[in-house]
Amino acid sequence: MKSPSKSLAGASILSAFVASLCCITPILAVISGATGLAASFAWLDSFRPFLIILTCMILAWAWYRALRPRTKAEIECACDENPSFIQSKKFLGIVTIFSVLLLVFPNYAQIIAPSPAAKEIILVSADDIQSLTWSIKGMTCDGCEIAVENEVNKLPGILAVDAIYAESAVNVKFDQTKTNSKSIVEAISKTGYQVLGKK
């Protein structure tokens, strides 16, 4: 059997990583506390389908090379009788699994993301509660939602935050005696996503 190339394995991991970088970055930003970096790679989202196809093509080529029958010259040479682990099908299998996990990262990002800090329960007069919705540009996945919700929840008087990337919106319920819409817009902007205005 022909051994898979180390460079193909590396290329598949790299392309899978870049394909999901727009969703990995917000989670890393929340974990590290550097939420200003959350939207840094949002521009890669439009390239994601091409990067997924590229990753699949690289893996398919690597598996083809690993599984195709050896030529007569390769059999006579016996060059790959004892391939190293990095040249083995087992290693290629691990690379394939890792690449697939990277590609589907947006589907399980919320499981990995840290839970928001518990909020202190406070009594608020119904007259002081305000609910507003803003249009947001740049959110591409659940990871983006987590970054925005995390940053807004740091403000005092926030009762509920619901970022919805599919609608490009953030709904916030807050105590207007403790915070205001300007502070909320500033908190959202800190993540790098652009606030387009109220809905």
Q: What tens digit of pLDDT does each residue of 137-183 get?
A: 988 888 888 889 989 998 998 988 999 989 999 999 999 889 999 99
Q: Are residues 104 and 156 in the same domain?
A: no
Q: Give pLDDT, residue 81.
A: 60
Angle between helices 48-67 and 6-32 (to 10 degrees): 140
Say if residue 88 is in the same domain as residue 156.
no
- Place 2 in a pLDDT band, splitting at 50, 70 and 90: very low
Mean pLDDT, range 13-27, rounded to an integer: 88
The whole-number pLDDT of residue 6 equals 74
Whether 92 and 10 share a structural domain: yes
Domain with 99 in it: 6-108
Please state, in angstroms and rounded to a whole number, the distance separating the CA atoms of residues 170 and 165: 8
Residue 33 and residue 91 share a domain: yes
Task: Let me know whether 12 and 97 are in one domain.
Answer: yes
